[in-house]
Structure 1
Amino acid sequence: MPPHVLLLGGPGSGKGTQCEQLATKYGAVHISTGDLYRAEVKSGSPEGLIMADIMAKGALVPDELGTQRVLKKRLEQPDCAENGWIGDGWAREEANSVTLLKYGIVNTSTLVISLEVPRATLIKRLAGRRYDPEDGSIYHVDYKMPSDPAIVARLVQRDDDTPAAVNTRLDVYEKQKETALTPLRQVNVQVTEVDGTGTTAEVAERINQVWKEHFDKLSKAEPDFQ
């Protein structure tokens, strides 16, 4: 069975980096709603224009626009059915979780991981992030900058990483987190909390252990459960 994994965490928790590594290791498709929505904005579509204003303020894209339309359409593509997917921050509010369950995207065989990182750490990570508008790469002024001066010169701070937007994003995340997880827990979807502090390698080791335990358990389950 192709893996279906949902990795949650606050802005700056490192879930994007971890999803990329998991996708490389296990061959599943890494799907970030943030990337999907930014691509929609870049396309200049009517939906993208609405999203641009919302995201610049650090607010959440409405479920009926984001999850039910943009994300659902992406999951219907063949690569997701064949290889499985790793969801990067999909369930940010209750409506997202309800939609994921309604359409059968998430169920009791889905591995759901919540990265836990203190707010002060998240603020520091986000404030130092820089974005390459040409290839979409993310860097950080304190510990991950490109060696090429030409790349450094074109790096920008995203609108949603400015101090005001960061605090708004974290306020929204903290307010919505538990209500977003409640629908999953109510139908016995297990949510595993993983310590998201430390080095990338340390966090990856914790996640991979959870991954192994989950899918080992599924492989031993009855066929009709899978």
Structure 2
Amino acid sequence: MNLRAALTAHRLIAIVRGDDPEAALSTVLALAAEGIELIEVSLSGKDALTVIERARQALGPDRPLGAGTVLTADDAHAARRAGADFTVTPALGEGVRVARELGMPVLAGVLTPTEIVAARTYDATALKIFPAAEAGGPAYLKALRGPFPHELFVPVGGVDEAAARAYLAAGATAVGVGSPLVGDAADGGSVSALRERARKFLGAVRDVTP
């Protein structure tokens, strides 16, 4: 898949992490049904690889599906076998390198200018600013874009609807959203409430002119 083009076009990644595999799968499918094109299933969730396998079967081969919290070479290989076609990491390391060797695009976690430069040696596809809120929010992102105007930045961590708009206005390519969007749905919470939140977030990212 072309992750750079997908991030630019869709501007939102939903992050699914839960302790109930059935609920996590239902969450992925509900998000997809509401029109969220980029969905990441975190490997830190219970039976996450099985969730990815089943989601891939349900969604078909052409719908983008990511594996998150990819830390190691084994994680990258397992994500590929499960059917993920892109990976997301919280930091730079073996997970990034091996996923790229396997031909998978990677949204690689960085925080500092030094890490942004280092990400180029890993051939990262795009850069996840994490934890974005703790780093300084939209103002920090705007400052990073000064020396790095051509990087694709995706803030993750503490991104609610208002923050999503602010990050995109500050120059983010997309935003990654976990609990403010998913809530408790991946642990068995309300799917109808999840769907409502999905519609609101889609509206929020569409409101901001690129």
| TM-score bucket of the superposed structures, by smaller chain | 0.3 to 0.5
TM-score normalised by the chain length of structure 2: 0.36
Higher normalized contact order (CA 8 Å, seq sep 6+, divided by chain length): 1
